[in-house]
Amino acid sequence: MVTVQRNAAPKAEWVLMYRGGLTRARIAALTGAAASTVGYHLVVARAADPALESAHRQAADGTMHRASAHGLERMRELVAFVQDTGQYPSARAGSAAERSLASWLERRRREAAEGTLAPKYREGLGVLPGWEGARRVVSDEARWQGRLGALVKYRAAGHDWPRHKATVTGEEHELGVWLHTQRYKARRGDLDPAKKTALDTAVPGWSAGRTRGRKARRTGTSDQV
């Protein structure tokens, strides 16, 4: 797995790939880096260049797959199957036809996750609730990356580690609760190794946080607490 130091962010190669329309997951797959690490570099890049996101979306439009006549027919078969049976086709089904539909659906799910799904497929499959399958996983990952990016900005502004106590409110409390959860998972050995690497890279010292018995660092000071 590729390891990229924090001081190298954002990695120019990854920024160019993202600007060219590739998704974070695709960049990670091509370079062998952790998706969370690529995500951190892209957070830094977007913060430095607000126009990067729009450039990525415009380029991504040209990388989407196109729907074929055969594919559209398969989509109609899938929709009919789900509406008739009340379930999605299984790759372990005894019927070869059902296994074929399951395989076709899995390819569309991968394309949806990569951001390359043909618009006609997305529109047609939209009548099936939860067809993407891993939608919640993708949403949770995006939310996690967003919290990491917010913590990076919070620390860069000169703030000490955010607290999670009930007496704390606003952004500090939200980030404090999130960071407390990451520390708890890390102590139990439940934190995804890729996420730990992303935290270590983006915000060194996150697992230790504040030192008890010392005052919180004030904005603009350089003392580490």
Domain ranges of the chain: 1-63, 69-125, 134-209+219-225
Distance CA 146, CA 157 (A): 17
Distance CA 112, CA 86 (A): 22
* pLDDT at residue 224, as a whole number: 39
Distance CA 210, CA 161 (A): 6
Q: What is the 3-state secondary structure (H, E, C) of 153-168?
A: HHHHCCCCCCCCCCCC
Dihedral sign from CA coordinates of 121, 127, 133, 138 = positive
Distance CA 66, CA 168 (A): 50
CA angle 37, 40, 42 (to 5 degrees): 110
* pLDDT at residue 137, as a whole number: 57
The amino acid at residue 176 is G
* pLDDT at residue 223, as a whole number: 39
* pLDDT at residue 6, as a whole number: 46
* pLDDT at residue 156, as a whole number: 93
* pLDDT at residue 218, as a whole number: 45
**What are the CA-CA distances from residue 71 to residues 2, 57, 75, 148 (Å)?**
37, 24, 6, 39
Phi, psi dihedral angles at 2 (to 5 degrees): -75, 135
pLDDT tens-place values along the chain, 225 residues long: 444 444 467 888 898 888 887 878 878 878 888 888 888 888 888 888 888 887 777 776 655 677 889 999 999 999 999 888 888 888 888 899 999 999 999 888 888 776 678 888 988 998 887 787 754 555 567 778 888 999 999 999 999 999 988 787 888 988 999 999 999 889 988 888 888 999 999 999 999 888 764 444 444 443 333
Could you give the count of Cα atoms lying within 13 Å of 78 in the half-sphere of its Cβ?
27
User: What pTM value is reported for the model?
Assistant: 0.41
Distance CA 133, CA 16 (A): 30
